[in-house]
A and B are shown apart, each in its own frame.
Chain A
Amino acid sequence: MGKYLLRRILQMIPVVLGTTLLVYALVFALPGDPVKAMFGDKPINAAVAAQIRAEYNLDKPFIVQYLLFLKNALTLNFGNTFAGQPVISEIGRAFPVTIKLALMAFCFEAIFGVVFGIISGLKKGKWYDSVILIVSLLLISVPTFVTGFLGQYFLGVKWRLLPVTAGSDPGFLDLLMPAMVLGSVSMAYIIRLTRSEVSSNIAEDYVRTARAKGMSNRSVIVRHVLRNSLIPVVTYLGQDLGSLMSGAMISETIFNVHGIGFLTYQSILKGESNMVVSIVTLLTLIFVVCNLLVDMLYAALDPRIRYA
């Protein structure tokens, strides 16, 4: 296990380097001058432009720029935004909100996804199985932003159950609808995954053996069917935790939640290249670490998997 962990961490290094280089190249090296974009319609002042270029290392060759960025990033020094704010403090303000939102969405999709998936997998063909299946298909087919609008319209405006938008310092209730919208698609996938796992495991020989031994239906389901069915679900959930952070963009934009997704989107629109690169670097790290944790968890849950 220790050896495997070491190998995985070593493998992470080229991935993190490659991803940041790719993002850096996409943001800074593709056509389109970030400094020119800053001036907008105003005439460009050559001296100011040169000063900005020097400050952000834009006057140096691309690879030097990247290495300098990397060197600073290691000490969590992401520099300033073009507007003059330190990047790290902006991220620090937005991050707790997104973590709260992502955790709420995670709990929502995990609880409802698994529960509905199990119900539907155990009673395949019953009317409520069909209802659950159709609802989950609909959630996948309707884009998240439409789900968000519908939620705003019905829950927020028509029935006045939940606040329509969240604002800058959101509480639990403010984040409830954004979290449900954020988690809805993953919940639908979890329902489908759990359902197919449960319904295929229930036909396995070891379940028949357990029943033949005289085990009660309840313990057959809980100890044998569910334990085996939930392994891929846990994997999916773990990977999803990483992508919920970045997937929050749509939900945060619709509900005006001032988190990482909102910040990223605004930064891209304003041409704050430095901010974009910093956020994407952080999100990539989170994603890669989450994946590593999932693989570790996988080995702990399934004794058949042994990492050499």
Chain B
Amino acid sequence: MSDNESQESMNTSSTLPGQERYVAPADTVKLQDVDSIDESAPATSMWADAWRTLRKNPLFIVSAVLIVCVIFVALFPGVFTHQDPNFCQLEHSLEPSSAGHPFGYDTQGCDVFTRTVYGTRTSLSVGVLTTILVVLFGTLIGALGGFFGGWVDAVLSRCTDIFMAIPLLLGAIVVLQMFRTSGSVWKIVLVLTLFGWTQTARIARGSVMETKNLEFNTASTALGSTPLRNLVSHIMPNSLASIIVVGTTSLGTYIVSEATLSFLGIGLPTTTVSWGGDISNAQTILRTDPAVLFYPSAALAITVLAFIMMGDAVKDALDPKSRTA
């Protein structure tokens, strides 16, 4: 608004006597739109604006509901089933679904529904923990490189290149090969972080470099702010948007990676209930009992889908340019 006013006053002052003032036709400037802006409303931040857009996006609502459901199942699996996922009776092997066992039994005679419910926690914790670590570490490396530039940036960028050149799956297999027997999700989380932080680092670096040269940063320095304070209170909040978008979308891919590693037999051991492990076990009986493979796969796909859709929705909300297009 203030821009418009200053423009107008400039126009009037520069108009020479005898010159007509040009008035744009009402339908091209959409004056009503300008008039309808409520000037007395409190100024909104980028985040409040993004939240307003998000709330109206059906993609966001669907994915948020799904994610809340998945989190609930992961936290309280006991609400959905009263059985122990590791309680398996061979006499039930491959029995079809029956009352109380809606998904039937697998080869070992374990209840597929119970195992699918309990597998949620494993997959979700791998996804969430890896994302948190990747975002923290990647942002730190990227922000330091982008902010300080020079030799710091050169060293950190080459380190990023080195880790980027090793494919995630290949590196993970080499490392996990040595910790085969450990059933802790942390080994997967740490390995995925070790080979997964590079993308976030690159994005953080680019974003910080871009934001560093913006005017508000110069203004802040002129007001006596230290570079570090600039980084933390001005540059980082403005770089966060792109990092959040990558984080949300890649959460799903980490869940897929865990399943893939378990499928290859070097992820979590069979004593840990996980979707990847169950899918892997079911592959041998695919031709006769495809249902056993279907349920954990579907659970996995729905969870990953929810996070990818959430990433899309957040991206739309945080990037006003893509909204109008």
* Chain A interface (Cβ < 8 Å from any Cβ of B): 11, 14-16, 18-19, 22-23, 26-27, 30-32, 137-138, 140-146, 149, 152-153, 157, 196, 199-200, 203, 243, 246-247, 249-250, 253, 264-265, 268-269, 271, 276, 280, 283-284, 287-288
> Which stretch of B33-41, B132-140, B144-152, B302-310 is in the interface?
B302-310
8 interchain residue pairs of minimum CB distance: A18-B162, A141-B304, A246-B167, A141-B305, A200-B325, A141-B301, A15-B161, A32-B178
Out of B169, B175, B297, name the residue touching A146 (CB < 8 Å).
B297
Tell whether A249 pairs with B170 under 8 Å between CB atoms, given A137-B309, A140-B308, A152-B286.
yes
Q: How far apart are the CA atoms of A17 and B318 in the complex, in Å?
A: 39
Is residue B192 contacting chain A, with contact meaning CB distance below 8 A? no
23 example contacts (A-B, Cβ-Cβ < 8 A) are as follows: A16-B165, A18-B158, A22-B162, A22-B163, A23-B171, A23-B174, A31-B178, A137-B308, A138-B301, A138-B305, A141-B304, A142-B297, A142-B304, A145-B279, A146-B300, A247-B169, A249-B170, A249-B173, A253-B264, A269-B265, A283-B170, A287-B167, A288-B165
Out of A140, A200, A269, name the residue touching B322 (CB < 8 Å).
A200
Let me know if B174 and A145 touch, CB within 8 A. no
Residues of B within 8 A of A157 (CB): 287
Is residue B277 contacting chain A, with contact meaning CB distance below 8 A? no
- Secondary structure type dominating chain A contacts: helix
Residues of B within 8 A of A253 (CB): 264
Out of A15, A26, A30, name the residue touching B162 (CB < 8 Å).
A15
- Secondary structure type dominating chain B contacts: helix
**For chain B residues 245-280, which have a beta carbon within 8 Å of chain A?**
252, 256, 259-260, 263-266, 276, 279-280
Q: How far apart are the CA atoms of A27 and B300 in the complex, in Å?
A: 31
Is residue B57 contacting chain A, with contact meaning CB distance below 8 A? no
Let me know if A203 and B325 touch, CB within 8 A. yes
Let me know if A153 and B169 touch, CB within 8 A. no
Q: How far, in Å, is B124 (CB) from chain A's closest CB?
A: 14
**For chain B residues 154-168, which have a beta carbon within 8 Å of chain A?**
158-159, 161-163, 165-167
Let me know if B171 and A153 touch, CB within 8 A. no
Residue of A whose beta carbon sits closest to that of B162: A18
Q: How far apart are the CA atoms of A197 and B301 in the complex, in Å?
A: 26
